[in-house]
């Protein structure tokens, strides 16, 4: 076997190695995966990244059993942490081959978690190396002089690779919380510096990446971060509506209702005709969002039940359940626009809590009132305060008609008026929201700069 791979392992130059890889056809179809281990152990993945990667691809292509995949686990782990960007850039196609091989491994071994761990290590190593190639911030002078071009096909900064997208996909298939956490913190949290993918100039990978990233964040309950990821799917104009954009819009709509109680709007740069087309395809989701915005609990619950098959088919049943859980909170907060103080029994009738699955049976009965009281306590909203009067009746007091600021950990409460946030708490909450807005604004501004500096962006977008 060493002889069969000698011209690959002992290539005289980088160009000779690339030529050999371009014309490569695996010569060892009669071997088993275990026979590759001695050859892999003799190679240094740090100095022979391309050759090592191709041997791995061939070995994974022959593996058919769990034992064979376990045999290759150590070489895979070693390669994942020592992969070299500089060598990969000379032949980016190797990343596509690796992606296919790892996806096959996950499918045959029925172990997406193992594949995802390897992919996280690979992507993390590549991201660290790509981050070192970042350019200085773009200035107006750079734009005028056409310097520091970033965008589609950029060779600077953190760029997408096929491994990024497959990593997120295997993470979703693994369905393990600790893997979600690691991927979200190590991969999704890394800022991208260019649109497109390292081995191609098409925009589809950009859409796929942010769509999957939003799903990972939503799986962890980070709905606001998921909204940011799904919003980025619409931050790049496309000639035609993509199926990825339709799927993202459905999830974006549900997530926006969860966070804000109403349907969200897409970025203004997105083509209005495309917006109408997407809303037409996702008409049921738009109608559900409008019903939720009207604060009709019964109608919203009925809409979700009527959509149950569509939600399950789209993989959005979990988000829909979260929407139902959060909708009464928006209905309760909406009462602050009319009332400053309201008996709990009356509030249960106003929001029609009996129509909600958590409302028990009967409108205004003790069971419904008690259930609403428990729900308000779980809301933990400092602007919606549940109190007991001298007569023993429960009353809901709304601190401020416009206040929906969540409690800030570590902030003190007023000694005279329990539950009323101090000025310090308001300042901390406002500062937190302002910081989140600034991060998103900076991300969008960088994206706009990248697009503005790419002359062939519009023509490339038709490939999505």
Break the chain down into helix, strand, coil percent, rounded to 5.
60, 5, 35
How far lies 262's CA from each of 88, 317, 425, 434, in Å?
46, 18, 26, 21
d(Cα 245, Cα 208) in Å, to the nearest integer? 9
| Separation CA 448–CA 324 (nearest Å) | 36
Mean pLDDT of 194-218: 82
Q: Is the dihedral of CA 353, 359, 362, 367 positive or negative?
A: negative
pLDDT at position 101: 93
Q: What confidence score (pLDDT) does residue 358 get? A: 84
Mean pLDDT of 348-358: 87
- SS3 string, 317-376, reads HHHHHHHHHHHHHHHHHHHHHCCCEEEHHHHHHHCCHHHCHHHCCCCCCHHHHHHHHHHH
Determine contact, residues 251/218, Cβ cutoff 8 Å. Answer: yes
pLDDT at 363 over 60: no
| Range with the poorest average pLDDT among 69-78, 155-164, 280-289, 434-443 | 434-443
pLDDT in tens, 9-21: 887 788 888 888 8
H/E stretch holding 32: none
What percent of the chain is predicted at pLDDT more than 70?
A: 81
- Token pair listed for 196: 């497109």
CA–CA distance, 311 with 39 (Å, rounded to integer): 49
State the average pLDDT over residues 288-311: 92
Q: Which residue has the higher pLDDT, 409 or 273?
A: 273
Which residue, among 290, 196, 189, 178, has the nearest Cα to 236 in the 3D structure?
A: 196
Q: Mean of the per-residue pLDDT values for the chain?
A: 83
If pLDDT is split at 50, 70 and 90, which confidence band does 186 have?
Answer: very high
pLDDT band for 26, please (50, 70, 90 cuts). Answer: confident
Question: How many C-beta atoms lie closer than 10 Å to residue 389's C-beta?
Answer: 9
Cα separation, 422 vs 309, whole angstroms: 47
- Phi first, then psi: give them for residue 343, nearest 5 degrees: -60, 140
pTM of the predicted protein model? 0.79
* Residue from 126, 86, 142, 92 nearest 450 by CA: 142
Q: What is the pLDDT of residue 140?
A: 45
Residue 435 has pLDDT above 80, yes or no: yes
d(CA 152, CA 414): 53
Rg (CA), the chain: 27
Task: Tell me which residue of 88, 172, 145, 149 sits closest to 122, measured CA to CA.
Answer: 88
pLDDT of the residue at 113: 94
By mean pLDDT, which of 87-91, 440-444, 457-461 is the weakest?
Answer: 457-461
**172 pLDDT exceeds 90?**
yes
421 pairs with which residues across the strands? Answer: 413
**Is pLDDT of 73 > 80?**
yes
In DSSP notation, 118-166 reads HHHHHHHHHHHHHHTTPPPPP-HHHHHTT-S--STT--SS--B-HHHHH
Q: Provide the pLDDT for residue 424.
A: 66
Please tell me the distance from the alpha carbon of residue 407 to that of residue 424, in angstroms, as a whole number. 11
The DSSP 8-state label assigned to residue 31 in this structure reads S
Torsion on CA atoms 161, 165, 166, 172, rounded to nearest 10:
160
- For residue 11, the tally of other CB atoms under 10 A from its CB is 18
User: With 90 as the cut, is the pLDDT of residue 280 above it?
Assistant: yes
Highest mean pLDDT among 257-266, 333-342, 363-372, 447-456: 257-266
Count of C-beta atoms within a 10 Å radius of residue 270 = 19
What's the mean pLDDT in 32-44? 87
Q: What is the mean pLDDT of residues 446-458?
A: 59
- Residue 408's pLDDT is what? 47
pLDDT tens digits for 310-328?
Answer: 999 999 999 999 999 999 9
**pLDDT above 50 (res 412):** no
Percent of the chain with pLDDT over 90: 43
Tokens 């350019």 belong to 135
Task: Indicate if the pLDDT at residue 366 is higher than 50.
Answer: yes
What is the band of 282 on the pLDDT scale with cuts at 50, 70, 90? very high
- Top-confidence residue, 410 or 443: 443
Task: Look at residue 231 in the predicted model and tell me its pLDDT.
Answer: 93
Going by C-alpha positions, the residue among 264, 245, 255 that lies closest to residue 219 is 255
For residues 143 and 156, what is the distance between their CA atoms, to the nearest angstrom? 16
């Amino acid at each position: 076997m060493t002889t069969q791979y000698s011209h690959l392992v002992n290539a005289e130059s980088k160009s000779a190695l690339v030529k050999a890889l371009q014309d490569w056809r695996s010569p060892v179809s009669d071997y088993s995966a275990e026979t590759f281990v001695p050859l892999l152990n003799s190679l240094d993945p740090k100095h022979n990244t391309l050759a090592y990667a191709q041997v791995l691809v061939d070995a994974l292509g022959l593996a058919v059993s769990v034992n064979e995949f376990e045999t290759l686990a150590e070489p895979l782990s070693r390669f994942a942490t020592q992969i070299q960007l500089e060598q990969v850039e000379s032949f980016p196609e190797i990343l596509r081959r690796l992606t296919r091989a790892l996806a096959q491994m996950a499918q045959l071994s029925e172990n997406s978690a193992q594949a995802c761990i390897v992919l996280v290590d690979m992507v993390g190593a590549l991201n660290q190396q790509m981050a070192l190639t970042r350019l200085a911030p773009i200035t107006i002078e750079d734009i005028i002089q056409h310097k520091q071009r970033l965008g589609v096909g950029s060779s600077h900064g953190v760029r997408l690779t096929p491994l990024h997208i497959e990593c997120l996909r295997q993470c979703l298939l693994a369905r393990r919380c600790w893997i979600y956490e690691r991927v979200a913190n190590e991969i999704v949290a890394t800022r991208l510096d260019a649109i497109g993918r390292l081995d191609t100039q098409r925009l589809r990978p950009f859409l796929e990446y942010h769509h999957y990233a939003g799903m990972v964040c939503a799986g962890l309950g980070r709905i606001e971060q998921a909204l940011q990821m799904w919003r980025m799917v619409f931050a790049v104009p496309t000639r035609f509506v993509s199926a990825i954009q339709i799927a993202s819009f459905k999830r974006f709509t549900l997530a926006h209702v969860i966070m804000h109680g109403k349907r969200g709007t897409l970025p203004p740069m997105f083509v209005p005709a495309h917006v109408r087309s997407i809303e037409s395809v996702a008409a049921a989701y738009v109608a559900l969002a409008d019903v939720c915005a009207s604060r009709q609990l019964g109608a919203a619950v009925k809409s979700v039940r009527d959509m149950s098959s569509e939600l399950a088919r789209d993989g959005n049943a979990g988000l829909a359940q979260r929407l139902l859980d959060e909708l009464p909170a928006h209905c309760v907060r909406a009462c602050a626009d009319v009332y400053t103080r309201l008996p709990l029994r009356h509030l249960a009738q106003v929001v029609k809590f009996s129509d909600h699955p958590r409302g028990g049976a009967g409108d205004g009965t003790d069971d419904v009132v008690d259930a609403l009281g428990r729900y308000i306590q779980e809301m933990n909203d400092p602007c919606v305060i549940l109190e007991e009067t001298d007569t023993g009746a429960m009353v809901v007091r709304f601190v401020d008609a416009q206040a929906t600021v969540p409690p800030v950990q570590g902030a003190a409460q007023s000694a005279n008026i329990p539950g009323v946030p101090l000025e310090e708490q308001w300042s901390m909450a406002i500062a937190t929201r302002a910081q989140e807005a600034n991060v998103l604004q900076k991300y969008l501004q960088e994206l706009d700069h990248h697009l503005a500096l790419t002359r062939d962006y519009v023509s490339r977008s038709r490939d999505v």
